[in-house]
């Protein structure tokens, strides 16, 4: 297999379980990643030991997931999830099994897992157990449901998002029947909570292939959040790859594309339906607005924009403008930021208190600060306390 091997603390958990006569295997994403030669984000173990038996074996455990058979074993500063072999009962809501039962055998546990590549088990010593041909699918770069795809998506509609997310992350194709079932069962996605959908979309946005969202939209997985289709945002979604791999610019870029193609009424509406936080909603809304206008041409225009929208939104809009409209705004904005020139009353060399001392109050004071800001935006070298105070005195006298 690959050169990636489990760390000592993981081996320790496996060996402890095994030495007490239980079966224990590495399973799921970590095995898939090891085969791919990638370091796993987390290590999952499945075992024949019941949750209480796992707890007895390790001095430090957490039991938040115990209802689903998961005990988190803590070793030094590490956490390993140990889950009892399980099979899921029937699914009432396309998301959660009504019951889970602990079963004695590994194959039943593997058969409840979503994709063949995620249904491979690796014992601490001995041969890998791969009843669904996951290794071959990984070798060929294919995402395939374990069992019948339509039924598996009926059980849990989130799996449709997971399939496309893994496709984007790993650069794998989705096997034909699995993909056809996503198109067929997409309406079930409407029953998923917005938070789960949001998290999946964000994970897709942060891969090297955010254009997977075209398939997500085309299949109808986002119908609950989109207006009836008009334009097709195909080529523009590819442009999201040119954005930094950060949530804010990628959400903003997505909103701009969807809005331009009439798929959403506004960024605010779309993002609030998906339960994004207020800051992201505001920033993306402002970005979309800015992208509809001509970008600044002079440093002063950039400073005005920075003053009005703040650094985060201005940066986000500049990055989106570069990626989606082939401009070179971000470099211009960075140059302005790097100059250290003042673009906000907070950076003026005088404060409101200074102006109070000179007798200014209320509206007059606010107007004076804005006047000074305009002035130093034109003459950045004059953002000096004495000079500005003199200017205020002069204006007051005249």
Among residues 18, 23, 29, 299, the one that binds Mg ion under rule CB under 5 A: 29
Draw the binding track, 236-255, toward Mg ion (x: CB under 5 A; -: no contact). Answer: --------------------
Stretch that binds Mg ion, among 29-37, 71-79, 166-174, 297-305 (CB under 5 A): 29-37
CB of 81 or CB of 341, closer to ligand ATP: 81
CA distances from 35 to 1, 3, 134, 246, 398 (A): 6, 9, 10, 28, 79
- Residues 261 and 230 sit within 8 Å (Cβ to Cβ): yes
Least distance from Mg ion to the Cβ atom of residue 301, Å: 47
C-alpha–C-alpha distance, residues 34 and 44, integer Å: 12
Draw the binding track, 353-372, toward ligand ATP (x: CB under 6 A; -: no contact). Answer: --------------------
Q: Which two tokens stand for residue 134?
A: 């996951």
Least distance from ligand ATP to the Cβ atom of residue 264, Å: 27
Least distance from ligand ATP to the Cβ atom of residue 44, Å: 6
Between the two ends of the chain, the Cα-to-Cα distance in Å is: 84
CA distances from 130 to 27, 51, 175, 295 (A): 10, 24, 18, 55
List binders of ligand ATP among 154-213 (CB under 6 A). 156, 158-159
Beta strands in the chain (DSSP E): 24-27, 44-47, 61-62, 70-75, 78-84, 86-88, 100-102, 121-122, 142-143, 173-174
Q: Which two tokens stand for residue 75?
A: 């070793």
Is 90 a binding residue for ligand ATP by CB under 6 A? The answer is no
Is 133 a binding residue for ligand ATP by CB under 6 A? The answer is no
Pick one of Mg ion, ligand ATP, none as the site partner of residue 130 (Cβ within 5 to 8 A by kind): none
Is 118 a binding residue for ligand ATP by CB under 6 A? The answer is yes
Stretch that binds Mg ion, among 21-29, 53-61, 196-204, 350-358 (CB under 5 A): 21-29
256 Cβ neighbours under 8 A, 6+ residues apart? 267, 287, 288, 291, 320, 324
Residues that bind Mg ion (CB under 5 A): 29, 42
């Amino acid at each position: 297999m690959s050169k990636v091997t489990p760390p000592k603390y993981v081996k320790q958990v496996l060996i402890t379980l095994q030495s007490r006569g239980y079966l224990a295997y590495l399973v799921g994403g970590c095995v898939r990643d090891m085969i791919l030669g990638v370091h796993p984000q987390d290590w999952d173990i499945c075992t024949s030991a019941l949750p209480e038996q796992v707890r007895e074996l390790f001095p430090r455990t957490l039991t938040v997931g115990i209802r689903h058979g998961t005990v988190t074993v803590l070793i030094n500063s590490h956490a390993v999830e140990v889950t009892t072999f399980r099979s899921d009962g029937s699914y009432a809501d396309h998301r959660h099994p009504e019951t889970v039962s602990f079963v004695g055998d590994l194959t039943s546990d593997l058969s409840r897992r979503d994709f063949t590549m995620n249904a491979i088990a690796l014992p601490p010593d001995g041969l890998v157990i791969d009843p669904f041909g996951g290794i071959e699918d990984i070798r060929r770069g294919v995402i395939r449901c374990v069992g019948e795809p339509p039924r598996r998506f009926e059980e849990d509609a989130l799996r449709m998002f997971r399939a496309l997310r893994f496709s984007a992350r790993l650069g794998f194709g989705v096997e034909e029947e699995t993909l056809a079932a996503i198109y067929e069962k997409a309406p079930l996605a409407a029953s998923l909570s917005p938070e789960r959908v949001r998290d999946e979309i964000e994970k897709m946005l942060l891969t090297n292939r955010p254009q997977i969202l075209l398939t997500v939209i085309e299949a109808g997985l986002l119908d609950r959040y989109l207006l009836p289709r008009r334009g097709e945002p195909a080529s523009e979604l590819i442009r999201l790859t040119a954005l930094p791999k950060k949530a804010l610019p990628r959400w903003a870029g997505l909103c701009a594309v969807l809005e331009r193609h009439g798929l959403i009424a506004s960024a605010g509406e779309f993002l609030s339906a998906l339960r994004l936080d207020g800051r992201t909603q505001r920033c993306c809304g402002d970005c979309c607005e800015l992208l509809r206008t001509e970008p600044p041409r002079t440093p002063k225009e950039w400073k005005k924009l920075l003053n009005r929208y703040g650094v985060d939104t201005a940066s986000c809009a500049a990055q989106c403008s570069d990626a989606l409209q082939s401009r070179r705004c971000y470099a211009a904005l960075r140059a302005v930021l790097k100059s250290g020139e003042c673009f906000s009353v907070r950076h003026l060399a005088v404060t409101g208190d200074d102006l109070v001392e000179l007798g200014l109050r209320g509206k007059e004071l606010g107007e004076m600060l804005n006047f000074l800001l305009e002035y130093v935006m034109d003459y950045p070298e004059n953002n000096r306390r004495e000079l500005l105070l003199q200017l205020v005195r002069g204006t007051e006298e005249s």
